[in-house]
Amino acid sequence: AADAIIDAEVSLSSRLTSAMVSSATRLKWVHSSASAVDGLLPLAQLAAANVTVTNSRGVQAIPIAEQVMGGLLMRTRRLDRTFAAQRERVWIQNELATDWPVLLHGQRMTIVGLGTIGVAIAERARAFGMHVTGVRRRTNELAPLCVDRVVGAHALHDALDGADVLVIAAPGIASTQSMIRAREIAMLNRGALLVNVARAGIVDQVAMREALQTGQLGGAILDVFEQEPLDRDDPLWTTPNVIITPHSAGFRATHWDELTALFCDNLARYRNGESLRNVVDLSAGY
């Protein structure tokens, strides 16, 4: 890849190093195979070289949204407990009468990051009868019909106050680093569920773990971690009410077909001098 990019005008890449960009003096456009570009591409260097960057925003929205709802149902309907009991061939009907399954219907969900993934999650949450608040940077844009209200980051605390479910779907950029700390978690309803399908660093990991221990968080559905793979000795593996997936929320069999179709459409646009889809704001980082 390092040799091939030297003469390239266009690159479809999962990751580029600074040295690769420096050597690619003809490079005009990079398409990222991921939606997030933080840590995968040297954005400042690409901006200085006047290279256009596009991403695969939208390709993973539906599978991630379905996984979020699956994780929530697993926790609220106590399916994690019944699956464990099934493996042991134990009938736990009486136990579920003391640890009642609960409804998503009527609960309040706050989604931090109302991009394509966040909207896809909101659509499904609304179908379950949940009340959805979205937090995003561009509050001037028309609010999706599936969301009850949209607020900016300045109103984050208002959006968190009294929420039953907090979903992290924001980009991992400097302004979102440690956005959710102990203070923010304390604003959620006691026993709230935290779902992170974005970047681990957006949530203060120490605060999250403490909240799981005290019961302020009733559970967590985690697809991203500070260290991946997650260390085998990490206590999260055995923390009650935590569902762990291996950064796989966007996986499905047709992923590369859809990504290739998006890139080929953009390639045709590029050749014809038309506007590209999913252009990344390099100053914002997404």
Enzyme catalytic residues:
199, 228, 247
- Cβ(166)–Cβ(107) below 8 Å: no
DSSP 133: E
- Cβ(101)–Cβ(125) below 8 Å: no
The count of C-alpha atoms lying within 13 angstroms of the C-alpha of 101, restricted to the half-sphere facing its C-beta, is 16
Strand bridging mode 131-135 / 29-32 = unpaired
Report the alpha-carbon distance of residue 225 to residue 200 in Å, rounded: 5
**What is the radius of gyration, based on Cα positions, of the chain?**
21
Report the alpha-carbon distance of residue 104 to residue 93 in Å, rounded: 21
**Euclidean distance between the first and final Cα of the chain, in Å?**
24
Exposure string (b/e) for 198-227, b if CB count within 10 Å is 16 or more? bbbbbbbeebbbebbeeebbbbbbbbbbee
- Report which of 167, 131, 170, 135 is spatially closest to residue 151, judged by C-alpha positions: 135
Report the alpha-carbon distance of residue 125 to residue 103 in Å, rounded: 12
